[in-house]
Amino acid sequence: MSDLSLRPADPVVGRAIPHESAGLHVTGAALYTDDLTVRTHGILHAHPVQAPHAHAKVTRLHTAPALDVPGVVRVLTADDVPGVNDGGVKGDEPLFPSEVMLFGQAVCWVLGETLEAARLGSLAVEVDYEPLPAIITVREAIERDSFQGGAPRLERGDVDNALAGAPHVFSGELDLAGQEHFYLETQCAVAHVDEAGQVFVQSSTQHPSETQEIVAHVLGLSSHAVTVQCLRMGGGFGGKEMQPHGYAAVAALGASLTGRPVRLRLNRSQDLTLTGKRHGFHAQWRAGFDGEGRLLALDATLTSDGGWSLDLSEPVLARALCHVDNAYWIPNVRVNGRIALTHKTSQTAFRGFGGPQGMLVIEDVIGRCAPRLGIDPAVLRRRNFYASGQETPYGQPVRHAERAVACWEQVLTTGDVAARTAQIAAHNASHPHTRRALAITPVKFGISFNFTAFNQAGALVHVYKDGSVLVNHGGTEMGQGLHTKMLQVAATSLGVPFESVRLAPTRTDKVPNTSATAASSGADLNGAAVKNACEQVVERLRVVASARLGVPPDELRFGGGFVRGPGEGQTLAWADLVAEAYVQRVQLWAAGFYRTEGLHWDSAAMAGSPFKYFSYGAAAAEVEVDGFTGAYRLLRVDIVHDVGDSLSPLIDIGQVEGGFVQGAGWLTLEDLRWDESSGPTRGRLVTASASTYKLPSLSEMPEVFNVALLERAHEDGVVYGSKAVGEPPLMLAISVREALRQAASAFGPPGTVVDLASPATPEAVFWAVRQARGGAQPPHIVPVLEGGVGVVPEQPDADAQPLQPRSEQVAQDEQVAQVAQSSGRGG
């Protein structure tokens, strides 16, 4: 076991400790960026002037009328930018555009003494536009060859020959919807400039260092002249990884030009209209199976909707390609990726970062093909799991593949799946107007940033003379409990009580050059850096304690606020040791650093080992569908998820629950709609409020919701043996979509296959039920793509015969097969 993952006796990590700010959250005392507004004297407010076109040239911008509005102080335009007029990292996101690329894009910003004055001033600005053709959907982009960025390909084996020789070949297509982050706190920044010209920005950002860099290059300054602080965020989910930079830069520009603090906070409608979403995808595929239902080959093309600029679309697409296998061994794989350029919000990071989209493709393949193969979907899934010694399509060995099996089997057992499946069959036989179904799906999710250089972190730990401890680290707190875990790591590493440690807000002048709090890596990276800093202090203190107690340094044990030797009476209080160390002029602070070892990735070849490890999980979801309306209920969910040796079980279980519900929202409820008409509002986001965009609520929660963490799952080489928890649980919600597919199919005869839109709203489920009953479905015509795959509508395999499991089928299939047989749907 590595030193990094080894836990001492009675550690603070592993305890079920509430979120460190829980009391502040529920009482309303927790400060967020916008709360600083009332505490800042003379602050100005920023309001955008938004374009009424999805694509247009700005032919005239006349700002003088705004200055006649009482309370308006200044209008910010491109002419005011002393540095680079760009708020992104790719050079394709002008802060003040001359060409509008999405409906509602801000062409300039008005500063006012009050927000109302700034709003009225924005209405007075005169702007003339020359409208241009706008591409709104991915299908339009494909037809018009509108793409941006790279076009990666992931390939292994001989796909063409494998498909040609496969006994069963199916093809299909799938449109995956995007998703709105809908964090409780919208994008916000407060900026001011001191007497020396130093810029200080308080920002609701997941990536303070990159916000610092963007603000500096917009203002034409060096990074050392800009400090960015993040107190905490009211949610982020990836939406504050790249998107806050431009808003922070506008606020900082206003503060630099006026000499007064500037606050920029988007209202909810502006936030929905202006900020990026989860990437929608269009996927086409062909899949080949052998006579026992094992995957032989997959040939697919994934087209993501990047929106108007690149943002993070390239790494999102790369991760989607790297997760198209999910938990399944596919010996021959070819997946082509491309990014559509559309005149919509620039789509960005969202919890899972492309992984959910890639995994949904293969789960859709299995869900569609299982009935045609005559195999229960659960049996088909389990039959294709990775085994020890196998590698992913990009060449990374799949370590601990047995943990996927362990999660799966535990869900089958604790979820009483066999008995419930029989009950479902009985219900369906006696209820002609409702159908129930239970689906179980696995998760295998890689943890680390795609870009190897991002896998580093720093920390700064101060021990004061009274023994109290202050920790600074590069991660940001967005409600996910990272700070709580870091407090537990520091307390464990130093051997002090949890209450002795405090965390300072994340600031770029304390820990520089940090990576975003993203990719589920916050605890892995920052936890290791905090531990490194604490261990430096402990090693210095060992020398002092050794001399005081007359014990060799390596025989001392730190814990519970004391340092103890092996003998009777060889005990020294932590506070006394620290005080003595100070007198002896021993350094009581340390800067920690960590870099994830063992990673390598060739982005051009799409090959290497980009992930430190894989997180595993399994979920079984039971649903009931109304045959008249398509409305459904989520009756029960059972989850087993692998978080290694949990740093903080209460936090981790909450993350699993929240991630699952957010994933279920993406797949079943949240339906982004843009105006696709040819009218003057073409390209407008029509679901731009909470009244038109449906989020999961208490009424959509499972009636029975059981979550367990996989036991005996220590992960060597990671801080205290833990694993990431932020993103992987979201993909467990694919089980809900597959259960809805199976329930809709159950309205037809055995072997019925239905297409299910994503999101699987009640309307979509209604049409799937109609399809199962032999009724009509809205037409869904896809243009044939030159050189593409799966270019014909999915057709039944004329040669396919229902498969029965052979008597020599591997033993690990038997339990799932028994479940399937008991339901009357079995393989």
> Which residues on adjacent β-strands are paired with residue 229?
202, 507
Other beta carbons within 10 Å of 567: 11
Give 445's strand partners: 615
Structure tokens at 772: 């199962």
Taking alpha carbons only, the member of 264, 191, 203, 265 closest to residue 229 is: 203
Spatial separation of the C-alpha atoms in residues 827 and 140, rounded to whole Å = 41
Q: How far is CA 17 from CA 467, 489, 721, in A?
A: 22, 12, 18
Map tokens 């630099």 to a residue.
256
Q: Which residues contact 235 (CB under 8 A, 6 or more apart)?
A: 181, 182, 183, 184, 185, 478, 479
> Are 236 and 478 within 8 A, CB to CB?
yes
The DSSP H or E segment spanning 258 is helix 244-258
How far are the Cα atoms of 64, 123, 250, 277, 708 from residue 126, in angstroms, in the given order?
9, 8, 20, 30, 58
- Active-site residue among 93, 670, 727, 794? 727
Buried/exposed code over 310-332 (b: 16+ C-beta within 10 A; e: otherwise): bbbbbbbbbbbbbbbbbbbbbbb
Are the CB atoms for 452 and 600 separated by under 8 Å? yes
Distance of alpha carbon 550 from alpha carbon 742, whole angstroms:
70
Find, among 319, 431, 345, 442, the residue nearest to 673 by Cα: 345
* Burial environment of residue 798 by CB neighbours within 10 A (0 to 12, 13 to 18, 19 or more): exposed
DSSP for 354-379 reads THHHHHHHHHHHHHHHHHHHT--HHH
Q: Are 360 and 394 spatial neighbours (Cβ–Cβ below 8 Å)?
A: no
Q: How far apart are CA 434 and CA 428, in angstroms?
A: 7
Q: At what angle do helices 313-322 and 355-373 cross, to 10 degrees?
A: 30
Q: Whose CA is closest to 235, among 278, 275, 188, 181?
A: 181
Q: How is residue 638 written in tokens?
A: 């059972």
> Is residue 580 annotated as part of the catalytic site, yes or no?
no
Q: Helix, strand or coil for residue 279?
A: coil
Return the ∠ at Cα 362 (arms to 809 and 451), rounded to 5°.
120
Give bridge partners of residue 776 from the DSSP assignment. none
70: which residues sit within 8 A by CB, 6+ positions away?
117
Name the residue type at position 474: G
**Following DSSP, what letter does each residue of 802-816 receive, concatenated?**
-----TT--GGGHHH
The bridge status of strand 262-265 relative to strand 281-289 is: unpaired
Half-sphere exposure of 311 (CA within 13 A, CB side): 34
Q: Where are the beta strands (DSSP E) in 167-269?
A: 168-176, 188-193, 199-203, 226-230, 262-265
- Residues 308 and 341: their CA atoms lie apart, in Å, by 6
What is the rounded radius of gyration, in angstroms, for the C-alpha atoms of the chain? Answer: 28
Task: Using alpha carbons, select from 327, 330, 328, 323 the residue that is nearest to residue 355.
Answer: 323
Closest alpha carbon to 617 in 525, 729, 471, 706: 729
457 and 594 Cβ atoms separated by less than 8 Å: yes
- Mind telling me the catalytic residues? 727
